[in-house]
Structure 1
Amino acid sequence: MCKQVQKEKNGRKNGSKKMKLVEEEGKPSKELPVETLNIVKRKRKSSNVQNAESRTASELHGVVWPTHIMERPDSEFKEKLMRLLRKPFSQGECDTLLDKATTRPPATMKRQTRGGVKYYNSEHERQPSYFDGHPDLAKQVRVESASKPNQLALLRGFFFWMENIAHHDQFRPWRDDFKQYKVTMVEIE
């Protein structure tokens, strides 16, 4: 028994067609049965899935980037930064930090009145974003935009530097300018 579909026009709007199933006996079908045309989903062995997941997790976990940080002299700042950069990749954190770095908040204006000073947010002026103040970082983040883990590492390093800028051994994690300068001790007679 073979089922065949016939199309009928019964005065429907826009040329729509009514589908009707007609059974015909004795005619061999040249089409494959519908069941074999469906996509076959295969079950994966749980060990293979775990290996695949751990492989991708290990690729993103423990990556310290930019690599020039490893060449810097040891310090407490570097040690804390390394711990932060070794955290696994998180898309939510990446989006949050990128939004925080690109946001231009309203400028706070000051107006002197007889009763004192009044502060208010301007409707027309904006404060510069972090990227406006650090164009070299913004350029690197844009260049690394294809690699989300590297982009997140730059942003984590920047905000860590902003929070710990008062440390005497701090450095800008996105720059490798320490290689340009060599400190030498000079004795004065």
Structure 2
Amino acid sequence: MDLLKIPYNKHELSNLWREVTERKPAQGVKELGHRRMKSYSTKTEGKSYLDQYEALRKKVEEFRDDRRKVLYLLRGFFFWLKNTPHEGAFQPWMDSLYLKSFG
């Protein structure tokens, strides 16, 4: 929730938007044996985070007219990405308490 206390920053929004919409080249993995793996480019375009997380995409579309709210959604999403291995990590864009705090 401390993320919401940080003032709106258009440069931060621009950077987070670039990250959430970026489609990096898809990677394949080839098993070489003896538990060794080799990754390679499939020469195809991968999915962006918005493609992978439909619920997040829908929330971003819902708040598209309010850049401040979109920034808060993206801050929450990237916080979640960095903390998913931790027990009790929640998806902020799906949490009604989080959404109400900036709604």
In which range does the TM-score fall when normalised by the shorter chain? 0.7 to 0.9
What is the CA–CA distance in structure 2 between the aligned matches of 1:98 and 1:90, rounded to whole Å? 12
From 162, 166, 171, give the equivalent of 2:81.
Answer: 162
Structure 1: tracts of 5 or more residues without a match: 1-81, 179-189
What is the CA–CA distance in structure 2 between the aligned matches of 1:135 and 1:168, rounded to whole Å? 23
Larger radius of gyration: 1
How high is the sequence identity, in percent, across the aligned residues?
A: 35
Matches within 5 A, 1:31-46: none
Structure 2: tracts of 5 or more residues without a match: 98-103
* Alignment size in residue pairs: 94
Q: CA deviation at 1:175?
A: 1.0
What's the C-alpha RMSD, in Å, of the aligned pairs?
A: 2.2
What is the CA–CA distance in structure 1 between the aligned matches of 2:66 and 2:96, rounded to whole Å? 23
Q: TM-score, normalised by structure 1?
A: 0.44
Match of 1:53 in 2: none
| Greater length-normalized contact order (CA 8 Å, ≥ 6 residues apart) | 2
Q: TM-score, normalised by structure 2?
A: 0.77
Q: CA deviation at 1:93?
A: 0.7
Q: CA deviation at 1:142?
A: 1.6
Task: Name the SS of the counterpart of 1:109 in structure 2.
Answer: strand
What is the CA–CA distance in structure 1 between the aligned matches of 2:80 and 2:38, rounded to whole Å? 33
Match of 1:56 in 2: none
The amino acid across from 2:14 in the alignment is D
